[in-house]
Structure 1
Amino acid sequence: MASNTDSNTHPIHVRVEHDSQGHELIMFRNPEISKLIQKDIQESAKDRKEILRNLPIQCSNPSCKGTTRRSDLMQCARCKTINVRYCSRACQKAHWPEHKKTCSVTPRTIISFTLRMVEHACAITRFQHMLIVSAIYMLDLTSNPATADDHFIIVPVTMRPADIMMLLRDPSHPMDHELGLAVGNFLVVNQNHVPEKVLGMREGVLRPKPVVGIPMVTFLCVAYEINEDQAAKIDENTTLLMQILPIPTEYLIQARMGMTMELRSAMQGFHEFTITKENLNQLWDGFNNDVRNDKRNQMKLRGYLNAV
């Protein structure tokens, strides 16, 4: 193993391996970045569990417009899918004639796996920070905070191989590798272009009490399997996770002054840049990099699709 350092970078450990065909693979690891990621996670671990318990989830009964704390939801005892959860026995009974048509024990899919990971992500400060910063620039909230009232932000999410080098060794079955949550390019949509079902969800969702002057932004985390563009095509049958977040005043002040972001990459180390609407993709890539660098899976955003 070799170490590459200079006065402006953190040490990068380089290891050369070979795949089954004898091709040379260069493995990069930055221990300083790994330590910082673990520190960030450990500092928020105490709060994360409580946030996850209180995450508002929509009841699966279409006639129920409310949301319920994640810890209070009831699953179907037979299929136990996270796509079918109820706020009460009454809602479960009312929805049974429709649900029984598809009720069965089914293998985990990329969509259901992704949605489960997104719920965990919503309890992580790093993920919420990314959502808030993206909203400020995409909706121009420093100049027009009222934009948050009639617009949604779609967050495309999926699961991708977490270890690129492992994928290069065996590219034939990518979904058999350990997968990590990944976000795509966010998209702003006017409320006139989303289904009534989604508008109803926003009215019923549990949220912080509104404060005068504080924008409240609605995020729609939409899972996709192959084509990211499909995530933007929301209809009445789309399964999604909605989160409504207040935009803190200190974030808006910092954005007016010029907000900077530090990216962490095993190959390139640390890189700081000033955030603009045009380079938000670096912010999203930075989150994906953090998931890939979380080798110990402390964020709980990695796993195997076909886990027993």
Structure 2
Amino acid sequence: MVNIQFTDPSIREEHQKLMPSPEERKALLNSLTVHCSFLPCTKVKARAEVKMCSRCKQARYCSQTCQKAAWKNHKKDCGEGTASQLTLKLAERALAVPKITEYIQMHAILTLKLLEDRTNAARYVINVKCRTATADLMAHVSRLVSGKESDSNAQVLLHVDAIERVPIEEAPEQLKRKLAGAKELLKTGYWEDRQPIGEDNILVSFFFTSVRQDDEGNDQVDGGADGAISSACLLPEHAMRFMADNPKSTLRSAMLGDMEVDVDEDQLRDGLNNLIRMDKTNQMRLRGYPSKVASDS
């Protein structure tokens, strides 16, 4: 697994700011843009401004009018406590952690082959496939060794199974709408934080899906295919420079010692998952309990 480190002092200082405080994390989460869950509606609002279904805590509406209009169809799916809902809730929280986004951006550079062709960012989007995994591995193994069943209500954490590219034509409609809005913003010459936009900036878009493994061990998407949890972001130029320098990672083995290897997609994904797992105090809020899936932020 890889831990991204920068040697350039100016870049390192910028990198250190990526772990938000609880207040910053909540502010970032509330500022995320959300599409109205009533499909005929095209309105987009900040997460803090939308009306949320009080039962499932997933469906979100720009107004009470849309919420009432959507109920006839939504009540068929509305419920509490499904595994995919918990996965997507944690995935949405991940969008409020810049360091998580950084790993996805680094991965996207390789997945989309942006070092060879920057225009690939306009032809593909990124699908981040996630599931939940047991947070306390030692306790989980101990139960299995003692002949007990796994604790179905034990704490779990967000786990990224795969990060794949998807042709823009096959991207979810909600992500396409978010991407269109981002492109309009680019025309103003400023990004969301009023930061000036350069001519070479790359717009990368990605969405999270919840997956489960079937009997043959293959991932099957069971939530998020609509692109409800998604983002369109500018790829920092320093990220391109970092990956262009052919960065190395040190793999440590008790038997083989230290080995220096190239940073690749597998190591970036493992590093992202390790970052989440090492957050024992749940500062990033990427842990949860199946019985409390409906609790918010």
Normalised TM-score (structure 1): 0.73
Structure 2 vs 1, CA of residues 226 and 195 (structure 1 numbering), >3 Å: closer, same or farther?
same
Residue 213 of structure 1, aligned match among 170, 184, 200: 200
Structure 2 vs 1, CA of residues 189 and 250 (structure 1 numbering), >3 Å: closer, same or farther?
same
Structure 2 vs 1, CA of residues 168 and 47 (structure 1 numbering), >3 Å: closer, same or farther?
same
| Partner SS, residue 61 of structure 1 | coil
2:60 aligned partner: 85
Asked if the contact 1:180–1:292 (Cα under 8 Å) also holds between the matched residues in 2, the reply is: yes
Structure 2 vs 1, CA of residues 224 and 232 (structure 1 numbering), >3 Å: closer, same or farther?
closer
Letter aligned with residue 134 of structure 2:
P
| Partner SS, residue 268 of structure 2 | helix
Asked if the contact 2:175–2:227 (Cα under 8 Å) also holds between the matched residues in 1, the reply is: no
Structure 2 vs 1, CA of residues 53 and 126 (structure 1 numbering), >3 Å: closer, same or farther?
same
Question: Unpaired segments of 5 or more residues in structure 1?
Answer: 1-39
Residue 145 of structure 1, aligned match among 115, 118, 133: 118
Letter aligned with residue 219 of structure 2:
D
Answer with 171-180 or 280-289: which moved more: 171-180
| Partner SS, residue 170 of structure 1 | helix
Structure 2 vs 1, CA of residues 264 and 209 (structure 1 numbering), >3 Å: closer, same or farther?
farther
Number of equivalences? 258
1:243 aligned partner: 231
1:167 aligned partner: 140
2:219 aligned partner: 229
Partners in 1 of 2:115 and 2:164 — Cα distance? 19
Is 1:129 the counterpart of 2:106? The answer is no
Superposition pairs of residues 1-308 of structure 1, within 5 angstroms: 43-45=19-21, 46-77=23-54, 79=55, 81-103=56-78, 106-171=79-144, 172-196=149-173, 198-204=175-181, 209=186, 211=197, 212-227=199-214, 229-231=219-221, 238=226, 240-260=228-248, 273-275=261-263, 279-307=264-292
Deviation at 1:187, TM superposition (A): 0.8
Letter aligned with residue 84 of structure 1:
A
Deviation at 1:206, TM superposition (A): 9.6
Asked if the contact 2:210–2:224 (Cα under 8 Å) also holds between the matched residues in 1, the reply is: no
Deviation at 1:196, TM superposition (A): 4.6
Structure 2 vs 1, CA of residues 280 and 157 (structure 1 numbering), >3 Å: closer, same or farther?
same
Higher relative contact order (CA 8 A, sep 6+): 2
Asked if the contact 2:134–2:157 (Cα under 8 Å) also holds between the matched residues in 1, the reply is: yes
Question: Unpaired segments of 5 or more residues in structure 2?
Answer: 1-15, 188-196
| Partner SS, residue 306 of structure 1 | helix
Deviation at 1:201, TM superposition (A): 4.8
Asked if the contact 2:112–2:121 (Cα under 8 Å) also holds between the matched residues in 1, the reply is: yes
Partners in 2 of 1:55 and 1:270 — Cα distance? 41
Render the CA deviation track for 1:225-261: whole Å, top value 9, x for unaligned: 33462239986xx464111111111111222222345
Q: Which has the larger radius of gyration?
A: 1
Answer with 133-142 or 82-91: which moved more: 82-91
Structure 2 vs 1, CA of residues 270 and 132 (structure 1 numbering), >3 Å: closer, same or farther?
farther
RMSD (CA atoms): 3.2
Deviation at 1:147, TM superposition (A): 0.9
Partners in 2 of 1:257 and 1:301 — Cα distance? 31
Structure 2 vs 1, CA of residues 174 and 206 (structure 1 numbering), >3 Å: closer, same or farther?
farther
Partners in 1 of 2:125 and 2:53 — Cα distance? 30
Structure 2 vs 1, CA of residues 242 and 43 (structure 1 numbering), >3 Å: closer, same or farther?
closer
